[in-house]
Amino acid sequence: MGWFKSKLFSSFLVPPLNILLLGTAGLLLLKRHPRIGKLLIGLALGLLYLSSTPYFTARALKLIEPPALQESSYRDEAQAIVVLGAGTYFQAPDYGSDTVNRLGLERLRYAARLYRATAKPILVSGGKPQGSTISEAAQMKSALVNEFKIPVTWEESASHTTFESAADCRSMLKAAGINRIYLVTHAWHMSRAVLAFEAAGFSVIPAPTGFTTLPTDPLELYLPNPQGMFESYLFIHEVCGWLWYKLKILVEGVF
């Protein structure tokens, strides 16, 4: 329920709902306050274009993405690889059950590459925040073991947020004497994830994947599309999430 309330609240802050609300407010004000109403409608249309056009959305998202992990960093003294869940492919007809979604697969593919280069043990992390039949951690473990042929040492399956994941992973790995980790997640999610995991007491080597890229066709840069809207959603969601985590750490202290 806590995850649901958080998701409901955050939906008012990100596109497209925030733009729809702005435009609706403009329509409601047209009769009594036509100048304000027209201003809000114009602002909503302008924001709709900006928030769905790759030239603006991809560039915004790249601002919060760290650099890729270089192979020279494989020599760093990380003790384990932590892979964060990214959601569920619900009731997948081609697999016969809930399984890891496409974003999760991108993270697992990179985790498998990192494991083959470093041979560090893997922890998969993710509970059932969206109400799946099995945890995201179990879904990831199944994919890594059965499809990528990569062993999984630890499975953290209780967390519903990145913040909870950091605390639960810390409890699990502290017992094994592990403090320094490779953290695998999407590049656009990495800043918030590092903030949470460092607050939990980890020394983190970011291992981002799924970087944002710009279309090569100049025309596509300026034409609104669904991918642009998704990128603007991710950008605002991650910035708001980072600010919320920062405030939470400042008020409540470290874990």
Answer yes or no: are the C-beta atoms of 126 and 136 closer than 8 Å: yes
For position 42, what pLDDT does the model report? Answer: 97
The CA R_g of the chain, rounded to the nearest whole Å, is 20
Global confidence as pTM = 0.91
What are the tokens at 236?
Answer: 């605002």
DSSP letter at 210 equals S
Question: For 170-184, what is each residue's pLDDT tens digit?
Answer: 999 999 999 999 999
For position 47, what pLDDT does the model report? Answer: 94
Between 241 and 1, residue with greater pLDDT: 241
Q: Is the pLDDT of residue 198 over 50?
A: yes
Q: In terms of C-beta density within 10 A (0-12 exposed, 13-18 middle, 19 or more buried), how is residue 218 classed?
A: exposed
Q: Is the pLDDT of residue 9 over 70?
A: no
Domains assigned to the chain: 2-63+233-252 (no CATH), 71-209 (3.40.50.620)
Q: What angle separates helix 226-252 from helix 54-62, to the nearest 10 degrees? A: 30
For position 1, what pLDDT does the model report? Answer: 46
Q: Classify the C-alpha dihedral 11-17-19-24 as positive or negative.
A: negative
Give mean pLDDT, residues 101-110.
98
Q: Is the pLDDT of residue 2 over 70?
A: no
Question: For 41-90, what is each residue's pLDDT tens digit?
Answer: 999 999 999 999 999 999 999 999 999 999 887 877 899 999 999 999 99
What are the tokens at 41?
Answer: 């409608």
For position 7, what pLDDT does the model report? Answer: 59
For position 228, what pLDDT does the model report? Answer: 95
What are residue 185's DSSP bridge partners?
A: 208
Give mean pLDDT, residues 104-112.
98
Instruction: Give the start-end residues of each E strand in 59-163.
Output: 80-84, 88-92, 97-100, 122-125, 154-156
Give mean pLDDT, residues 93-104.
96
Q: Cα-Cα-Cα-Cα dihedral of 224, 230, 234, 240, to 10°?
A: 70
Element (H, E) at 191: helix 190-199
pLDDT above 70 coverage of the chain, percent: 95
Question: Cis omega before residue 16 (within 30°)?
Answer: yes
Give mean pLDDT, residues 136-146.
98
Average pLDDT of every residue of the chain:
93
For position 6, what pLDDT does the model report? Answer: 57
Answer yes or no: are the C-beta atoms of 88 and 132 closer than 8 Å: yes
Q: What angle do CA 139, 147, 84 make, to 5 degrees?
A: 40
Q: Is the pLDDT of residue 147 over 90?
A: yes
For position 77, what pLDDT does the model report? Answer: 81
Contact partners, residue 88, CB within 8 Å, separation at least 6? 98, 99, 100, 101, 104, 130, 132, 136, 139
Give dist(CA 166, CA 145) in Å, integer.
23
Q: Is the pLDDT of residue 255 over 60?
A: no
For position 14, what pLDDT does the model report? Answer: 82
